[in-house]
Structure 1
Amino acid sequence: MDFVFMLTRDDKTVTDCLDVLDVLDESGTGPTGTIGPISHIGFKDIGVDRGTLARLHRRIKDMGATSYLEVVSTTRDEALASVRSAVDLGVDRLMGGTWIEETLTLLAGTGIEYLPFAGDPHGHPTRLAGDPARIAADCRRAEAAGCAGVDLLAHRAADADPLALVRAARAATTGRLVVAGSITTPVQIAALAAAGVDAFTIGSAAFSGALRPDAGTLRSQLATAVRAAAAATP
């Protein structure tokens, strides 16, 4: 299972995101580094200016990582503006948003893989409305439209058990299933893997120290996530 490190806190890209990449470089993210391999890195298009986003994305690609932009806007115009930002930056994967047809039209010919939200995200930080039947229906719709998978805010669910949503999504799609938001423990990561999740994202939990409350460095938090992902991978 892949660990996607999001350079975000409270659904915004952290203002020192470039410095965080320096920490990854200094600590080592290769197989022999002190953190371990982090080959999936993402961000939001809010929190920092466009120039910083461009520099950030170049750095991520220079590190050899797969890049992600996650849409958190809940209005059509703002969400599609985020899609255009993803196209301008040239990210590898775009996650989030619910305007599937319009998004795929904007992404046509770019090679960017799209994973929309399943369910009804609302508010900021985002909460997820929708029962397992709604999640399954959205997953089927996304797959039929040609999306690469879905982005599921399972642990921000307002109406259902998170793992029930994950199982419904997994049964409804053969695409890539990414669970994002409010993942704070290795136990959660193991449960997601057992339910068939392909990848999970962590941002705020790493920056707040929630993954390993007894440790004080970002390096320790990330190492915990990397080890949990490796342990959950068959």
Structure 2
Amino acid sequence: MKHTPELIVMLTHNDVTVPDATAVFARCQHTRARYWGFKEEGLPFAEMQALFAQMKACGKTTCLEVVAYTEPECLRGAEMAAACGCDILMGTVYSDAVHAYCRAHGLRYMPFVGQISGRPSILHGTPAGMICEAEGYLAKGVDGIDLLGYRYTGDAAALNRAFIAAVHAPICLAGSVNSFARLDEIKAAGAAYFTIGSAFFAHAFGGDIADQQHRLRLYGGPACLSVGTPRPMFPVYLPSTMKSWPCWATKAFCLTLTTRLSTTATIPRPRWMRCSAISTA
């Protein structure tokens, strides 16, 4: 089922919450990303609770992604999510006990599918098997699926396309979204959500995390972004040959142009330059 993909910012690196996650969020809390989260490992529990409370106070929807493979570990992760007041529990190997706990405590539940191992996680299995597994979980009432598509040991792009086309529920593509090429694939596949964590801390999309979110918005959405009170429109003269450029070149030109101009400017542009959306709003 196709959606307009929405970013979930994960304050994690290599599947562990970064130690300065609270400070990072404080620097980025003004951005338009609505979904924020981190992992169950890396911070003291009291600090996790305080950070999730700060996110909620800023109007964010909160996610705890639990990388655990036994039922007792998965249940502990669900208990942590509930105690932190999270909105969504992502990850865990599905179990009826975890699902029942989430329903009893008002948590949306998006479990993993496939055969998962390690940390950072690696995904094994077949697309057909994962689709069948997801359909079984959805029949039991889960709220969506956390698919580690780019951690797959096979053809990741083919898995993502087939899985999203076949599974009629919100799908989050989680892990190793670290290039504009993969963003293009996510848009084409139509995932409901995608996570970025390690790639932000590796500066895969630019400078600090707030700047990278802005660049993602420019790349995936309009060629200009209005923030705050818009300034009067002014002309920007574009190359006459631009209409014949390949898509990647047009996007790169627009991204360079708009990052050189004030982000509060409104830039008139022809309809053919509009790109399909990735939402960070």
Q: How many residues align?
A: 221
Distance 1:227 1:8 in 2: 23
Q: Separation in 2 of the partners of 1:93 and 1:105?
A: 14
Q: Which of residues 2, 25, 44 is equivalent to 2:6?
A: 2
Structure 1 residues 180-195: aligned runs within 5 Å? 180-195=174-189
The 3 A distance-change label for structure 1 pair 219 and 98 is same
Q: For 1:223, give the aligned amino acid.
A: H
Q: Does 1:157 align with 2:201?
A: no
The answer for the alignment partner of 2:168 in structure 1 is: 174
The residue aligned with 2:213 is 222
Letter of the aligned partner of 1:198 in structure 2?
A
Query: Quick one: structure 1 residues 170 and 89, their matched pair in 2 at CA, closer, same or farther if it must change by over 3 Å?
Result: same
Q: State the Cα RMSD in Å.
A: 1.6
Query: In structure 2, what is the equivalent of residue 93 of structure 1?
Result: 88
Contact 2:70-2:93 at 8 Å conserved across structures: no
Separation (CA, whole Å) in 1 of partners of 2:211 and 2:104: 40
CA contact (8 A) 1:98 1:117 kept: yes
Deviations 1:141-194 (A, max 9, x none): 121110111000110001x21122112322332211100000111221121121
4+ residue stretches of structure 1 with deviation over 6 A? none
Cα deviations across residues 177-229 of structure 1 (Å, max 9, x unaligned)?
A: 100000111221121121121110000000111223xxx43332222233345
Paired residue secondary structure (1:111): coil
CA contact 2:53–2:85 (8 Å) conserved in 1: no
Q: Secondary structure at the match of 2:104?
A: coil
1:23 counterpart = 2:27: yes
Mark the runs of 5 or more structure 1 residues left unpaired by the alignment: 30-36
Aligned to 1:196: 190
Q: Is 2:71–2:95's contact at 8 Å kept on the other side of the alignment? A: no
Distance 1:232 1:82 in 2: 36
CA drift at 1:90: 1.8
Does residue 13 (structure 1) correspond to residue 43 (structure 2)? The answer is no
The corresponding residue for 1:233 is 277
> Does 2:128 match 1:133?
yes
% identical aligned pairs: 32
Please tell me whether Structure 1 or Structure 2 has the larger radius of gyration of its CA atoms.
2
1:101–1:172 CA distance, 2 compared to 1 (3 A): farther
Q: Secondary structure at the match of 1:108?
A: helix
> Which 5+ residue runs of structure 2 have no aligned equivalent?
222-274
Alignment of 1:27-46 (within 5 A): 28-29=30-31, 37-46=32-41
TM-score (norm 1): 0.89
- Using a 3 Å threshold, how does the CA distance of structure 1 residues 224 and 100 change in structure 2: closer, same or farther? farther
Q: TM-score, normalization: structure 2? A: 0.75
- Cα distance in 2 for partners of 1:228, 1:87 equals 35
Q: Counterparts in 2 of 1:66-105, with a 5 A limit?
A: 66-105=61-100
Question: Aligned letter for 2:216?
Answer: A
* Residues 82 and 169 of structure 1: CA distance in aligned 2, closer, same or farther (over 3 Å): same
2 CA distance for matches of 1:189 and 1:232? Answer: 11
